[in-house]
Chain A
Amino acid sequence: MTALVNPGLADELARSDGFDADACMNCGVCSAICPMGVDVEVRRLFRYVLLGMEDKVRAETERVFSCLLCRMCEENCPAGVHIAENVRTLRHHIVRTGFGLGEG
């Protein structure tokens, strides 16, 4: 099975205010301290975006919506990534393009 790659995904999302997944160094601090643990794993979601793997992002809808937006990760992220806002931006992308919601 071939993966559906959208090379423009990161750029599309980057148009939203402050989407900065590319600042992530994949260090794992966020995964280690996230109250939701493996249910969320934001750094994996960010990797998918950076690689343009849109179908992977969609397959991980539950992960995207399981985040508490609590910013515990952000408070401790050594790269100062806007993690919660990035997750919210992914949600916006999914509800708009995947669920057909959000407009009209």
Chain B
Amino acid sequence: MPLATADVIGILGDNLRLRKSVLPLSSKVTTRWTEGLGLPRGGETVLYTGMMYQLIPYIEGLVRAVDRLGDSWMGSYTKLGRRVNRLVNISAFMARPSAAERAVYDRVPIDVVHLLRRAGVRFGALYEDDLYSGALAYDLGLDEIVAEHAAKVLAAFRKHGVKQVITIDPHTTTMLRSVYPRILEGYDIGVSSYLEVLTEKGVAGNGHRVRPIDGEVVVHDSCVFARYEGVVDEPRTLLAAAGLTLRDPENAGRQTWCCGGPVESLYPAKAAANAEKRVAQLRAAGDEAVTMCPMCFVNLSSAAGSTMRFRDISEYLREAFAS
């Protein structure tokens, strides 16, 4: 039996408050992507991951580890007890993804670094101070805990002299751009996603060397990018400039259909059923689809199995503009 909703939410809240992330990972894991890139520590403009892409292979590892039990990953995780979780970092004992699995997700911020450099953007990173944004806890209504956490994120920005943040995934983008200004007094950090920055800088054109990708791809818009942040045209502009022919599924742009990911931690069967419906729409439009959020990527690719291929947008862009 999955644990009650209250316990799952309690564990997530405790983790965010005590360990600064809903699923606490060591900073060695969350900063591995920075190795060898020579990114300055801090500065006025930083690339900020909010740990989203780094968290996904660990969540996948948990899903696999508990799948046999027919339980939600969060339900099984919390079976060990919220009380215990307050004292011990349980996730340290959970299933570890392989190096190859981790590399798939670590590659995204690395590709983004190369793309931004190619576009002439100068930026640093916050390494172990690049904290989770609190997105899932905020969605679950843990407002007081998120406000406390957001203050820690802002303190990290201040400590490193940050004025402008470049984000990668939609959930971190909306937290930092649309939620923090409402819950933090004096929050004055500028926030843009790398897709917006690349479009604005013209990496898609303006004489940049392009290795065009010959092929067709179905665009799966993220609900958060499309409906919360109005990011609909940028990914299309960049993908078209990369040479790709774009196909829209039945629900696209501002009418996009959610991948189901947001309810995965509480009701995995509902999340999976929703992902299957979306995969059917995407498959009707083509064999390969592009995602721009790690949650969409993991939910849709696991629902599709081998029937369809998914790639993160950063992979296409790196191949065309910065390989």
Contacts and interface: CB of A to CB of B under 8 A. Distances in A.
B144 interface: yes
Given A66-B263, A74-B227, A91 B141 contact: yes
A39 interface: yes
Interface residues of A, number: 30
B182 interface: yes
Interface string A60-77: 011001111111101100
B323 interface: no
B145 interface: yes
B270 A66 contact: yes
A4 B12 CA distance: 30
Interface string B133-153: 000001111111100000000
B187 interface: no
Interface in A82-104: 88-96, 98-99, 101-103
For the complex, would chain A's binding face be called helix, strand, loop or mixed by DSSP majority? Answer: helix
Contacts of A94: 141
B258 A101 contact: no
17 contacts: A35-B274, A61-B5, A62-B267, A65-B140, A68-B223, A68-B260, A71-B223, A72-B258, A74-B227, A88-B139, A92-B143, A94-B141, A95-B6, A98-B6, A99-B5, A99-B6, A102-B144
Interface of A: 17, 35-36, 39, 61-62, 65-72, 74-75, 88-96, 98-99, 101-103
